[in-house]
């Protein structure tokens, strides 16, 4: 797995250098999924991602605290036993529902961890696309101090 991580770091670095050198425009880099990140509801984001009706699955694990003391930095992780092509984190009551989206190359370990902002207590959705089908896990996270302008 270390070789795959090194390859991911290498390609991420190359992409960043290409953007900074002007070989690709920052508009191209930013515009790739602008519509999904501008979605204001679960249905908006589902439509842009091509999700018809994700099914809850025990193969998808959402790791997050039950209570977030600070909504500005909520640790969230997704893991799955499926051969993931994509993963996404959605926060139902955030101003922008899609918090993060990740793409996986064949053979990558299907695991991500990040920190997201949450403005208030909300359901958080972990979506995983494998074999063209979307699966999900859902968890309510209670926020005691707002992070999205609160």
pLDDT, one tens digit per residue, over 101-131 is: 998 888 888 999 999 999 899 999 999 999 9
Same domain, 17 and 84: no
Same domain, 93 and 42: yes
Range of the domain at 8: 1-32
Same domain, 25 and 48: no
The pTM of the full predicted model, rounded to 2 decimals, is 0.75
pLDDT of residue 48: 83
pLDDT, one tens digit per residue, over 49-84 is: 888 888 999 999 999 999 998 899 999 999 999 999
DSSP readout, the chain? -HHHHHHHHHHHHHHHHHHHHTSS-HHHHHHTTHHHHT--SHHHHHHHHT-S-PEE-TTEEEE--SEES-TTSEEEEEEESS-EEEEEEEETTSSSSEEEEEE--TT---EEEEEE--SSSEEEEEEEEETTEEEEEEEEEEESS--S--
Same domain, 27 and 72: no
């Amino acid at each position: 797995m270390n070789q795959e991580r090194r390859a991911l770091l290498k390609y991420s670095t190359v992409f960043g250098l290409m953007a900074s050198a002007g070989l690709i425009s920052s508009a191209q880099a930013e515009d790739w999924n602008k519509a999904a990140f501008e979605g204001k509801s679960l249905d908006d984001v589902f439509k842009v991602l091509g999700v018809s009706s994700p099914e809850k699955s025990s193969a998808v694990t959402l790791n997050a605290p039950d209570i977030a003391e600070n909504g500005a930095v909520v640790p969230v992780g997704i893991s799955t036993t499926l051969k993931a092509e994509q993963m996404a984190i959605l926060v139902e009551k955030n101003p922008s529902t899609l918090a993060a989206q990740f793409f996986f190359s064949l053979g990558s370990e299907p695991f991500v961890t990040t920190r997201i902002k949450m403005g208030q207590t909300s359901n958080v959705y972990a979506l995983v696309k494998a074999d063209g089908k979307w699966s999900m896990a859902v968890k309510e996270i209670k926020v005691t101090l707002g992070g999205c302008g609160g």
